[in-house]
Structures are given as structure tokens and as C-alpha cells.
Amino acid sequence: MPGDAVETDDIARQMAVFRQGWRTYRKVVDNNYMYHREVYGLLRSSLATAFPDHALRLLDVGCGDASVMAPALGGLRMEHYYGIDSSAPAIELAREALAGLDCTVTLQRADFATALAHWAEPLDAIWIGQCLHHLQ
């Protein structure tokens, strides 16, 4: 169908834009230009101190690919990790990165402002790591 070709072209363009933006993001993270390693190290030590004997329920707002979060949480007592991101490809990458966590992992593709407005699950901590610039 003619409409299918237009939709396929649109998806291909969106994926190309995502890949280019993601390459830039990965350079920033991999080279530690915004101190992700130090920030997530502080998060880890803060969670370990605040919740030493409690299985943590954490919401990661704007989780992206969770490539820095997953190692930060490794070894902590976790009950549930919730991640929200608006990017479907990022959510799939996060699913892979978080597979080693010893807890329930729930990932949601959504606009985080909308998701938070309707949030009902009990949480111990909410993390919004370097994604506020995405708000309009």
C-alpha cells in the first residue's frame, strides 16, 4: 500500500536521527565528559547508606539505555527497578543492560511527565539523571 511506504520511510528517518543522536550521547558517556561515572558512584553509595537493610524500589526517570545505572545498582539489595524513557530503542538497550539485576525490572516507554502524573506504585527512591533538559 502507498501509505505503508511513507510510514516505513518515516520510521527509517526517525531511526537514523536516533542513531546519530545516540552516537553523540555514547561519546559523552564513554568519555565521561559529564562525569557520569562519578555521579552514578555517588548514587550507589547514597543508596547503600540510606537503605542498608532494605530491598530498594527505585524509579529511574529518563533511564535511557541504563548502561551506567546497571553497574551502579549491581550488588545492592533491590526489589524492583522501574525505568521510564520516551525512546523505544533506548528501552530495548536498557532491557539488555539491566538483565543482570537480581530484581524485578519494569521498563515503560512514555513521556516521563505524563507517567509521573499517573504513578501509583510505592517507591523508595526516584532518580532523574541528567535528562531534565528534555522538558519543554
Q: Is 26 within the bounds of a domain? A: no
From the CB of residue 28, how many other CB atoms can be counted at a distance below 10 Å? 12
Inside any domain, residue 47: yes
59 found inside a domain: yes
**Domain count of the chain?**
1
**Cα separation, 68 vs 58, whole angstroms:** 15
CATH number at residue 91: 3.40.50.150
The answer to the question of residue 136 being in a domain is no
Confidence check: pLDDT of 6 > 90: no
User: In terms of Cα–Cα distance, which of 97, 104, 101 is closest to 79?
Assistant: 104
pTM of the model: 0.84
What is the b/e burial string over 114-125, where b = at least 16 CB atoms within 10 angstroms of the residue's CB? ebeeeeeeeebe
4 within a domain of the structure (yes/no): no
Q: How far is CA 33 from the centre of its chain?
A: 18
Instruction: Establish if 14 belongs to a structural domain.
Output: no
Structural domain harbouring 79: 34-131
The whole-angstrom separation of Cα 68 and Cα 45 is 14
Residue 101: pLDDT above 70? yes
* Position 18 in a domain: no
pLDDT tens track for 37-81: 999 999 999 999 999 999 999 999 999 999 999 999 999 999 999
Q: Which residue shows C-alpha cell 533511564?
A: 63
**Exposed/middle/buried for residue 20 (C-beta within 10 Å: 0-12, 13-18, 19+):** exposed
46 within domain boundaries = yes
Work out the pLDDT band at 104, boundaries 50, 70, 90: very high
